[in-house]
Amino acid sequence: MENMSVVKILSLSGLQEVRNYRSLYFVLTAVTFLLIISVNLTLIITIAVEKSLHEPMYIFLSNLCVNGLYGTFGFYPKILKDLNSDVHVISYGFCLAQLFIIYTSVLWEISLLTSMAYDRYVAICRPLEYHRLMTPLMVIKLLVFAWCFPLVWSVVAIIFTSRLPLCGSHIDKLYCDNWSVVKLSCVPTTHNNIIGFIIIIMQIAQALFTLYSYCRIVRICLKSHEGRVKFMQTCIPHLLTIINFIFATIFDVMYSRYTSSNMPLSLRNILAVEFLVIPPLFNPIVYGLSLQQVRNKLIRICSKNEVAHKT
């Protein structure tokens, strides 16, 4: 306890192996960042301006895109700055801000995907009751739950993390995350572990609910040709995003808590950033743009803009 000191600056070592290729990585990262912004904004604006898309499924989708942008801005600006610098450090205050953004973004993503799974379950398994069950008030309740419930637990977790005295200042990662900071603590982290396990249990519960919903959906859809077509159009893309995100977060948890120093740094970086790169980029493409209504609206908007430009 006598060696404890106030840590104001933390070092990030995730870019050690890319010093000779920084320009290439900077270009690739910048292009990915711009693509994420463009595809998510395109989908959000399209859903917002087209009244025919003001349905629960598209409302949940637009919220998913908003969360994708939110998490993206918590990661990409810092990594782009580090790729242009020889010193990779971060202030303790900014580190807490970054881990808060990433932490809340992950929990919001899972809750929003769960809400979308419930919407698809009602639409396919109980179609006659859909408009009675998925009322505007129910959509608001699901969105309030999806945004507020994870936020409360995130705030609790970050408060406990911020109160820990740190005896180290080195994070073997590209960014700050909650567990990496907790591991630097000079004191026992029992309360942090308890909160972390509670949050993990809640995530598992939501994942199991989603899987249960899709088991019911698959059973219904396989009974008819129309059901199979509907499943392929609206559920396969959603299921792909869920599977990708679940595996990505599992990889990150395993990386943060049980990683081995013998694992190549490049592989550790891939495991650590997959859920920050793939979901926000491919969610609007794989899920949103695969929906026929969204594609038709985008084509109409582009056609109108082209005609207006020519005239």
> Is pLDDT larger for residue 297 or for residue 31?
31
Structure tokens at 311: 């005239």
**CATH 1.20.1070.10 is the classification of domain 9-247+282-310:** yes
Give the amino acid at 226: E
- Whether residue 5 is predicted with pLDDT greater than 60 in this model: the reply is no
Half-sphere exposure of residue 193, counting CA atoms within 13 Å on the CB side?
A: 7
pLDDT at site 263? 64
Is there a contact between 96 and 158 (Cβ–Cβ < 8 Å)? Answer: yes
pLDDT at site 67? 94
- Rounded to two decimals, what is the model's pTM? 0.85
- Whether residue 231 is predicted with pLDDT greater than 80 in this model: the reply is no
pLDDT at site 71? 92
CA distance to 105, 195, 263, per residue, from 55 (Å): 23, 36, 46
> Is pLDDT larger for residue 225 or for residue 176?
176
pLDDT at site 298? 65
Q: What band does 3 get if pLDDT is binned at 50, 70 and 90?
A: very low
Q: Minimal CA–CA distance to 78: which of 174, 7, 178? A: 174
Average predicted confidence (pLDDT) for the chain = 82
Is there a contact between 257 and 182 (Cβ–Cβ < 8 Å)? Answer: no
Render pLDDT for 196-227 as a digit per residue (tens, 0 to 9): 888 888 888 888 888 888 888 888 877 777 76
Bridge partners of 185?
Answer: 166
Compute the distance between CA of residue 245 and CA of residue 253 in angstroms, rounded to an integer. Answer: 12
Neighbours of 77 (CB within 10 A): 12
Compute the distance between CA of residue 251 and CA of residue 267 in angstroms, rounded to an integer. Answer: 11
DSSP 184: T
pLDDT at site 291? 63
Q: Minimal CA–CA distance to 287: which of 68, 131, 28, 121? A: 68
Render pLDDT for 53-108 as a digit per residue (tens, 0 to 9): 888 988 998 999 999 999 999 999 998 998 888 888 889 999 999 999 988 998 99
Strand 89-91 vs strand 9-12: parallel, antiparallel, or unpaired?
antiparallel
pLDDT at site 288? 63
Q: What band does 1 get if pLDDT is binned at 50, 70 and 90?
A: very low
274-295 exposure pattern, b = at least 16 Cβ within 10 A, e = fewer:
bbbbbbbbbbbebbbbbbebbe
- Whether residue 136 is predicted with pLDDT greater than 80 in this model: the reply is yes
Mean pLDDT of 109-135: 90
pLDDT at site 135? 93
Compute the distance between CA of residue 236 and CA of residue 243 in angstroms, rounded to an integer. Answer: 10
pLDDT at site 303? 66
Look-up of token digits 């909650």? 178
Task: Label residue 87 exposed, middle or buried (CB < 10 Å: 0-12, 13-18, 19+).
Answer: exposed
pLDDT at site 247? 73
- In this predicted structure, which of 6-10, 40-44, 227-231, 272-276 has the lowest mean pLDDT? 227-231
Mean pLDDT of 225-251: 72
Compute the distance between CA of residue 230 and CA of residue 288 in angstroms, rounded to an integer. Answer: 15
